[in-house]
Amino acid sequence: MGALLLFMGSVCSAEDITIRYNGNKAKVQQSKKDSVVVTVDGACVNIESLYQNHKLSLRLTGSSDNGQLILKTKGKAKLTLEGLTLTSLEGAPIHLKNKKKVEIVAKKGTVNTLSITACNDTVNHKGAVIWAKDKLLLSGAGTLNIIATGDGCRGIKSKKDITIEDVTLNVTTSGNNLGEKPFSFGFPGGTEGGGFPWAGDSTIQAGFPGFPILGDSTMRGGFPGGGMMPFNFDDIPEEVRQQFEEMRKRFEERMAGDSTMRGGFPGFPGGGMMPFGGMRPEDEDSIDGGFPDFGGGGFAGKHKYVAATKGIASKGKITINSANITVRTSTSGAEGIEGREGIVFNSGNIDVLSPDDAINAGACIEFNGAHVLARSTGNDAVDSNPKGGFFMPFGGNEQNSEPAIIIRGGTVYAWSQMGSPEEGLDCDFAPLVIEGGEVFSAGGGMGEMPSVPTNENAKQPTILLIGIDIQQDEPVQIYDADGKLITTVTIPFSLRRSASLVSNPAFKLGGTYTVKTKGYEKTFTLNEAFTAVR
């Protein structure tokens, strides 16, 4: 009787298909054969399933340095990785042509490594270690290593939603992008010379042509009507670059002596520009100056790359639950984690390091309970680009009232090593909401003013520390009035005159606190839900 139960149990838990990779060969065992076609060519396994109601189950094990699985399914599928080491030389090692969700499970106690060494952007040569056409779920109590070394190779790419839970996931990309798209920015075009008058007009009267400075309300050069012309900052004459720099310096000097200054673009009369976080400079009709420094990209827009070697990228939403995730990218334009329709961090530990945005989304980014460390060496650490969020000074704007970033809990460390104008948390002028959690950002901002919450959106007291001189590996500490340590953060790089957004559950309205770094000490009182400290 016991033997019968054991036999029945093994039948019930058996996979529909088992694939064992061994060097340049793959052996396939198939229990379900109706409606499933399996083709094996060396270590490349091609499976097409017509099942729609049955969830196809596959087990993958073994090792190959030139293998692949191409799975085309009409229904759901589950892939269990059990000590799998699989490298592909041509296309994604796991290539999913799925019409419904596919789950990839790293079995408990196993280490699985998937690698890709060469990519291109042809239709049938998907440039990612895991490439999915539809929804993707990564799970399991094991470890999954994703390594992309070839040019144009991403880590994980899905055209739909990605959910990650429980698994220990390590993603590394080290190849170059396949190319760079033309860099353009939509300034209204001019006559023969393009959108900026210096192409055919030697008279430049403002930091941005056509916008007055120092109280001059006349238009000198302007933005003449016409089409949209491409613009390259490398074409700016040296004298204009010097004007930009002088305006930036005047702006910083103005900030240092003006406690009402809370962001925005100076140099526009009548307070016409909406500042960061939806606030305006108080009691001022205009601010002398111009646009701040554009170093690192800034206001003018960002480079676009062909097959950027991103870590985890989805054209849908990314949701992370109780996972341990490490992402490392190494090439300009290669974001660490990118979710076109938003990213949700519910729990787990996430560590992202990238030369570009560490975390990027085209919609709201939500932090609900995870421990997140996002660090960028050359761009924003956390960058949300909601539709309608970025304010353009030339009209045609519809400001997005929906939050770009919501922090409800957990720990959010967002560090931009680049400094101004790159930020720790960048909302592109849409609202930033802080309801809880421990937050410590480091970076700059346009004129060193980062995205900040309003008093209404700072539901947990929040401070903006302007001008802190962060020194590499030296702690930044905040104490309460009784000398009790509230929080301490040690940042692995130096940043002169940083702008840091800090929020902590221990903060209380009316409370007095002291921030200390090596060579810097400042005491402040939280008089408002959002308080700027200079």
- Give domain status of residue 192, yes or no: yes
In the chain, how many H helices and how many E strands?
Answer: 2, 42
Q: What does the buried/exposed string (b/e) look like for 447-456 if buried means 16 or more CB atoms within 10 Å of the residue's CB?
A: bbbbbbbbee
Please name which of 104, 59, 64 lies closest in space to residue 86, comparing C-alpha atoms. 64
Is residue 129 within 8 A of residue 84, CB to CB? The reply is: no
Residue 350 lies in a domain: no
DSSP 212: -
Angle (nearest 5°) at CA 359 between 357 and 362: 95
Q: Does 222 reside within a domain?
A: yes
502 belongs to a structural domain: no
pLDDT of residue 303: 65
Max distance between CA atoms of the chain, in angstroms, equals 97
Domain of residue 255 covers: 184-261
Q: Is residue 196 part of a domain?
A: yes
Q: Which two tokens stand for residue 490?
A: 């040690």
In a domain, 438, yes or no: no
228-229 and 187-188 beta bridge pairing: antiparallel
Give CA separation, 506 vs 104, 368, 437, 484, 514, in Å. Answer: 40, 18, 10, 11, 13
Position 231 in a domain: yes
pLDDT digit string (tens) for the chain, length 534 residues: 443 333 333 333 368 999 999 999 999 999 877 889 999 999 999 999 998 888 999 999 999 999 999 999 999 999 999 999 999 988 899 999 999 999 999 999 999 999 999 886 554 457 899 999 999 999 999 999 999 998 889 999 999 999 999 999 999 999 887 777 664 443 333 333 333 333 333 333 333 333 333 333 333 333 333 333 334 445 555 555 555 555 555 544 544 444 333 333 333 333 333 333 333 222 322 222 233 333 333 334 456 777 789 999 999 999 999 999 999 999 888 999 999 999 999 999 999 999 999 999 999 999 999 999 999 999 999 999 987 554 444 344 455 578 999 999 999 999 999 888 899 999 988 999 999 999 999 998 754 467 999 999 999 999 999 988 899 999 999 999 999 999 999 999 998 888 999 999 999 999 999 999 988 899 999 999 999 998
User: 333, 441, 431: which is closest to 382 by C-alpha?
Assistant: 441
- pTM exceeds 0.85, yes or no: no
Q: What is the pLDDT of residue 401?
A: 75
Count up the domains in the chain and report the number: 1
Residue 35, Cβ density class (10 Å: 0-12 exposed, 13-18 middle, ≥19 buried)? middle
Phi, psi at residue 298, to the nearest 5°? Answer: 55, -145
Amino acid 157: pLDDT = 96
Give 149's DSSP letter.
-
Nearest alpha-carbon partner for 340 in 387, 296, 392, 374: 387
pLDDT at 212: 34
242 within domain boundaries: yes
Within 13 A of 486's CA, how many CA atoms are on the CB side? 24
| pLDDT for the residue numbered 395 | 40
Q: Strand 44-49 relative to strand 36-41: parallel, antiparallel, unpaired?
A: antiparallel
- The single-letter code of the amino acid at 55 is K
The tokens describing 290, both together, are 């111009």
User: Burial level of 298, CB count in 10 A (0-12/13-18/19+)?
Assistant: middle
- Amino acid sitting at position 176: N
**What six digits make up the tokens of 412?**
């959010």
Q: What is the DSSP letter of 509?
A: T
